[in-house]
């Protein structure tokens, strides 16, 4: 007995507290109350009880019998080598329980423990197979981690907890919490042999994380409230069902379902708001169901779910960011979606239609590399404060933004090889003058129709190039073009069928370094109301028979014809206008190529006499 007490005293020397009185009140044993009736100080128990070192089962049992009492609030079982069974039936309430690094411990039982004020930690016990907390009702935190052969956990009466974590308990097959009603965080990762998760009465679940298990289903039949859900890398998981899910935090439930290779269906009840929603790399997923969703306050990312061919959120009104990449969806129809701060749809091989008919606000759209896509319709969108880029959609035929009035950013329509129609019939303003923005329409080889019929103001540069089928280019309402700085250009070139360019109402160009037009078949160009510009270079391999510059007043350089020529009539009209500008032009560079009339030659000489550098040749 002395050896046991001495060993225990050494283990717990720094932590012993005997709760004895000073004897003044007559309960020091002298008056006969010496412990028989239990008030001599020892039976109220030690505050801390520690089991450590080479303590045996028998020694542990005797220590428990002699030292547990109502004052015992913390039990530490640390780095024992001989202890195999610890059965503490005397304990009903604790502040803290820690069981860590015990080499031979196989069974841990506190069958009458009802509550713990702080936390439970059971970690790194290499032979522990059984944990029995049969009557535990409430605990802030439980961590079971790296118990290599743990296969049985009894928490049958646990009602609520702030946190329960099971990490790297590789032989655990079943987790059953039949009485659990509410939990803050439940984390299972990795639990490589966990096949059964039973939470039949759980109603409130703040955060659930399940990864790298053998679960084939996750069914939470009573859960109504959920804030965060992460389910990833569960290779046997086929179904996720939370049928009564309806409530979440103010910003919505954060949902991540990723890399579950056998997963087929996900059903998330009647929840109406998500935070971040990520559905990624679930190659056999065929159904994702959340039919009551109205708002996604963060990013919705749908990526690389090979067998998911359809997705419907019939009530979705608002989303921060829509990101659909590498999916097999055939259609994207969010019929009532009104707001999406960003829309990004890329590399969806089977996607044929994008229709967001109710979308009225977005700050950016990128649609690219969707090879089956034939139609893009954003017929309700009226304004956007960022860029629209539509590129490399091999079979795209039509782009329609029927109601878009202002686009305060870039517009890029690039390398859509089957594109025939671009429709922006209500667009009046494009670009932002105080940042660099560009209208780019390039390398759309089948493009033959563009409708910018109401565009009046361009606060951007312009690049229209490599659109092989278009024959006529017109901006009939455009009056003003303003660049970001004097390095901004308007470039129209290599549109191999283009014969006619019409900017008939363009009056003012500001901060545009040069206008460069170089085409093969171009014959008609109309800048009839353009008064001033910096540099104008126009060239065509065909004879330019009409070039209207009848309002020109000021410029620095004009180069008309290089590899090609202007008709005699066109040269006559241009030089007649230049020589009659008031006040007289001076210090200008003027180059024109074509057969000039005598009158045009005389006008050219007059311009030279006024101090201009003029070259007129055939």
Residue where the block lists tokens 């350089």: 557
Q: Indicate the pairing of strand 361-362 with strand 339-346.
A: parallel
- Distance from the Cα of residue 378 to its chain's centroid: 21
- Which tens digit of pLDDT belongs to each residue from 360-407? 999 999 999 999 999 999 999 999 988 999 999 999 999 999 999 999
Sign of CA dihedral 445, 449, 454, 456: positive
pLDDT (0 to 100) of residue 111 = 96
Average pLDDT over residues 590-614: 97
Instruction: Identify which of 426, 364, 428, 362 has the alpha carbon closest to the alpha carbon of residue 390.
Output: 364
Amino acid 39: pLDDT: 42
Report pLDDT for 13.
Answer: 37
d(CA 488, CA 491): 10
Nearest by Cα to 351 from 366, 369, 330, 377: 330
pLDDT at 326 over 50: yes
Q: Directed axis angle between helix 598-609 and helix 568-579, to 10°?
A: 30
pLDDT average, residue stretch 120-148: 97
Mean pLDDT of the chain: 92
Model confidence at 550: pLDDT above 90: yes
Of the pLDDT bands very low, low, confident and very high (cuts 50, 70, 90), residue 487 is confident
Among the listed residues 542, 566, 583, 540, the one whose alpha carbon sits nearest the alpha carbon of residue 618? 566
Give the pairing type, strands 375-377 and 353-355.
parallel
Q: 302: which strand partners? A: 279, 324
Could you tell me what percent of the chain has a pLDDT over 90? 85
Tokens of 429: 């303003």
Contact call for residues 140 and 163 (beta carbons, < 8 A): yes
Instruction: Tell me the CA end-to-end span of the chain in Å, nearest whole number.
Output: 123
Q: Which stretch of DSSP H or E encloses residue 162?
A: strand 160-167
pLDDT at 102 over 50: yes
Q: Do residues 83 and 55 make contact, with C-beta atoms less than 8 angstroms apart?
A: yes
In 3D space, the residue among 513, 595, 600 whose CA is nearest the CA of residue 557 turns out to be 513
Q: What is the CA radius of gyration of the chain?
A: 40
Summarised one tens digit per residue, pLDDT across range 208-236 is 999 999 999 999 999 999 999 999 999 99
Beta strands in 269-428 (DSSP E): 273-280, 287-289, 295-303, 318-325, 331-333, 339-346, 353-355, 361-362, 365-368, 375-377, 383-384, 388-391, 398-400, 406-407, 411-414, 421-423
For residues 615 and 175, what is the distance between their CA atoms, to the nearest angstrom? Answer: 90
Q: Look at the chain and count its residues.
A: 618
Give the residue-averaged pLDDT of 474-487.
92
Instruction: Output the DSSP codes for 575-593.
Output: HHHHHT-SSPP-S-EEEEE
Task: Round to whole Å and give the CA distance between 208 and 245.
Answer: 13
> What's the pLDDT at 90?
87
Tell me which residue of 391, 313, 312, 377 sits closest to 347, measured CA to CA. Answer: 391
Give the rounded percent of residues in the chain with a pLDDT score beyond 70.
93
Q: pTM for the whole thing?
A: 0.84
Q: What is the band of 69 on the pLDDT scale with cuts at 50, 70, 90?
A: confident
Answer yes or no: are the C-beta atoms of 288 and 279 closer than 8 Å: yes
- As a whole number, mean pLDDT of residues 445-455 equals 97
- Residue 46: pLDDT band (50, 70, 90) is confident
Burial class (CB in 10 A: 0-12, 13-18, 19+), 130: middle
Q: What is the pLDDT of residue 341?
A: 92
Long-range contact set of residues 598-606: C-beta below 8 Å, sequence gap at least 24:
599/572, 599/575, 600/568, 600/571, 600/572, 600/575, 600/576, 603/575, 603/576, 603/578, 603/579, 604/575, 606/579
* Structure-token pair, residue 577: 């206008």
Question: Residue 95: in which H helix or E strand, if any?
Answer: strand 93-100
């Amino acid at each position: 007995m002395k050896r046991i007490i001495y060993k225990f005293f050494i283990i717990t020397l720094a932590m012993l507290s005997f709760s004895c009185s000073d004897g003044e009140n007559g309960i020091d044993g002298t008056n006969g109350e010496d412990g028989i009736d239990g008030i001599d100080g020892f039976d109220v128990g030690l505050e801390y009880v520690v089991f450590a070192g080479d303590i045996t089962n028998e020694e542990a049992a005797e220590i428990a019998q002699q030292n547990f009492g109502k004052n015992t609030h913390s039990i530490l079982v640390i780095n024992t080598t001989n202890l195999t069974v610890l059965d503490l039936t005397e304990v009903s309430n604790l502040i803290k329980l820690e069981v860590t690094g015990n080499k031979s411990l196989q069974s841990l039982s506190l069958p009458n423990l009802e509550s713990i004020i702080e936390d439970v930690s059971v970690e790194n016990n290499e032979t522990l197979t059984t944990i029995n907390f049969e009557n535990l009702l409430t605990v802030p935190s439980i961590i079971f981690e790296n118990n290599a052969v743990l296969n049985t956990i009894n928490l049958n009466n646990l009602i609520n907890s702030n946190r329960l974590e099971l990490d790297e308990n590789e032989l655990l097959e079943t987790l059953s919490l039949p009485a659990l009603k509410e939990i803050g965080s439940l984390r299972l990762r990795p639990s490589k042999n966990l096949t059964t998760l039973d939470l039949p009465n759980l109603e409130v679940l703040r955060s659930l994380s399940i990864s790298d298990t053998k679960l084939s289903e996750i069914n939470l039949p009573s859960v109504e409230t959920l804030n965060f859900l992460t389910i990833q890398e569960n290779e046997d998981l086929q179904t996720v069902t939370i049928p009564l899910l309806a409530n979440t935090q103010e910003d919505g439930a954060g949902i991540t379902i990723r890399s579950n290779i056998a997963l087929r269906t996900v059903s998330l009840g009647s929840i109406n708001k998500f935070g971040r929603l990520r559905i990624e790399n679930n190659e056999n997923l065929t159904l994702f169901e959340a039919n009551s969703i109205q708002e996604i306050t963060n990013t919705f990312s749908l990526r690389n779910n090979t067998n998911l061919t359809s997705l419907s959120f019939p009530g979705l009104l608002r989303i921060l960011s829509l990101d659909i990449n590498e999916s097999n969806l055939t259609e994207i129809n969010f019929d009532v979606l009104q707001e999406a701060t960003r829309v990004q749809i890329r590399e969806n091989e089977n996607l044929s239609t994008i229709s967001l008919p109710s979308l009225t606000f977005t700050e950016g759209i990128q649609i690219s590399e969707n090879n089956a896509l034939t139609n893009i319709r954003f017929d309700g969108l009226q304004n956007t404060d960022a860029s629209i880029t539509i590129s490399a959609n091999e079979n795209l035929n039509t782009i329609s933004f029927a109601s878009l009035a202002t686009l305060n950013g870039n517009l890029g329509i690039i390398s859509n090889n089957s594109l025939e129609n671009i429709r922006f019939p209500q667009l009046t303003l494009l670009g932002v003058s105080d940042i660099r923005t560009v209208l780019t329409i390039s390398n759309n080889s089948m493009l033959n129709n563009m409708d910018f019929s109401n565009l009046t103001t361009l606060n951007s540069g312009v690049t229209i190039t490599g659109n092989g089928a278009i024959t006529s280019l017109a901006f009939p309402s455009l009056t003003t073009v303003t660049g970001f700085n004097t390095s901004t250009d308007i470039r129209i070139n290599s549109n191999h069928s283009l014969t006619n360019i019409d900017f008939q109402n363009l009056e003012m160009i500001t901060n545009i370094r040069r206008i460069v037009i170089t085409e093969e078949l171009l014959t008609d160009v109309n800048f009839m109301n353009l008064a001033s510009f910096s540099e104008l270079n126009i060239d065509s391999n065909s004879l330019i028979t009409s070039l209207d510059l009848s309002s020109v007043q000021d410029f620095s350089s004009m180069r008309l014809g290089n590899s090609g020529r202007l008709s005699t009539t066109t040269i006559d009209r241009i030089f007649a206008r230049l020589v009659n500008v008031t006040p007289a032009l001076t210090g200008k560079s003027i180059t024109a190529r074509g057969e000039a009339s005598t009158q045009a030659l005389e006008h050219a000489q007059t311009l030279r006499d006024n101090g201009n550098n003029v070259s007129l040749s055939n």
